[in-house]
Amino acid sequence: MLTQIINARILTPQGWLKDGSVLIRDNKILEVTNCDLAVIGAKLIDAKGMYIVPGGVEIHVHGGGGRDFMEGTEEAFRTAIKAHMQHGTTSIFPTLSSSTIPMIRAAAETTEKMMAEPDSPVLGLHLEGHYFNMEMAGGQIPENIKDPDPEEYIPLLEETHCIRRWDAAPELPGAMQFGKYITAKGVLASVGHTQAEFEDIQTAYEAGYTHATHFYNAMPGFHKRKEYKYEGTVESIYLIDDMTVEVVADGIHVPPTILRLVYKIKGVERTCLITDALACAASDSQTAFDPRVIIEDGVCKLADRSALAGSVATMDRLIRTMVQKAEIPLADAVRMASETPARIMGVLDRKGTLERGKDADIIALDRDLNVRAVWAMGQLVEGTNKLF
């Protein structure tokens, strides 16, 4: 099956192609060209001058469509993934908040089953916790939080094959040993829910922690203790050039001015956009997996309003927020939603950009940056055929 998207403004690694076309065969990109001439035998899709950009690579998402990945079931996974794909996510790393070992095993089993399916959008499992600083628990379930335990994490990584990322607070006892062990297994180690200062972050980076979980959230910035001032986790991460960060770009978790600051200091290649979405995202649901969570002001919070607890955002909203509120160029916003997370997670060889030979994961955005069509592995995602 040959498909050609014509009359498009296409984002390539070299920049925008005006009036170009993308040729797709089955699940791969055959060619990206500035020639708009119809190819004989191809099914033509007229993009009507819209933006054609790479599909979103979501590396931190807890659920959607009314279901949470902590449920661990295939039904919950498929419902949540489908909901996000309709908003421009084409690759996904389902995320568990701090969970029990049986919950992790159940989710890992479902993840591995889905990863084995042809053309699956599921690329691996992300564990957000449960080795966190209790003082920075935020929306995490406190009963599940503890120090890193090799009797838990070693058997888990030996028995499963889908965990691609694991977050921890580096100041905890055993966190350095944990970071070294998981990175040796090819798992991304990320700093999160932490009170770490510069020495902690520097040591963590040397032990393999190269990423920061929802940057600015659940970590301190510049602060005082008595009469003296100290750098926070935020400044410490800025000072380590090669540490990558992710931001919840819903315009609420991190204000647009700070989104612009992150972009200015860390740059496109070290900043990626995440939803950190809960079950209520992309749905009419008003409930979250955690009964303490409420939805208010377009965001999820703990009912006592002591902390934010995740978002109701989708991939398209991240891009719109970066462009329309943080005033960042569209090309850079899209790259932070696709190319950069693909690079961070080690899948840039097949995801994240529109290039010959890569997976045909593509979004069509109109001038207002609304999703009008999504192709995942060359297949039009159900419910997104708004070009026709």
Which residues are part of the catalytic machinery?
Answer: 276
Number of H helices, E strands in the chain: 10, 23
AA letter at 73: T
Residue 258: Cβ within 10 Å count:
16
CA distance 278 to 290: 10
H/E element holding 362? strand 362-365
CA–CA distance, 39 with 338 (Å, rounded to integer): 28
Give the Cβ contact number of residue 382 at 10 Å: 10
Task: Name the residue among 106, 93, 269 with its Cα closest to residue 167.
Answer: 93
Q: Are 110 and 72 in contact (CB under 8 A)?
A: yes
Q: What is the DSSP annotation of 296-308?
A: ETTEEEETTSSSE
* φ, ψ for residue 319, nearest 5 deg: -65, -45
Cα gap 288→68, rounded to integer Å: 8
Concatenating the DSSP letter of every residue in 92-137 gives: EEEEE-S--HHHHHHHHHHHHHHHTSTT-SB--EEEEEEE--GGG-
Is 128 among the annotated ligand-binding positions?
A: yes
Q: Please tell me the distance from the alpha carbon of residue 370 to that of residue 359, in angstroms, as a whole number.
A: 22
3-class DSSP state of 341: helix
**Nearest 5°: CA angle at 307, between 303 and 310?**
90
Instruction: List the structure tokens of 129.
Output: 């916790």
State the residue for tokens 């203790």: 225
Binding-site entries: 128, 193, 214
Binding-site entries for Zn(2+): 128, 193, 214
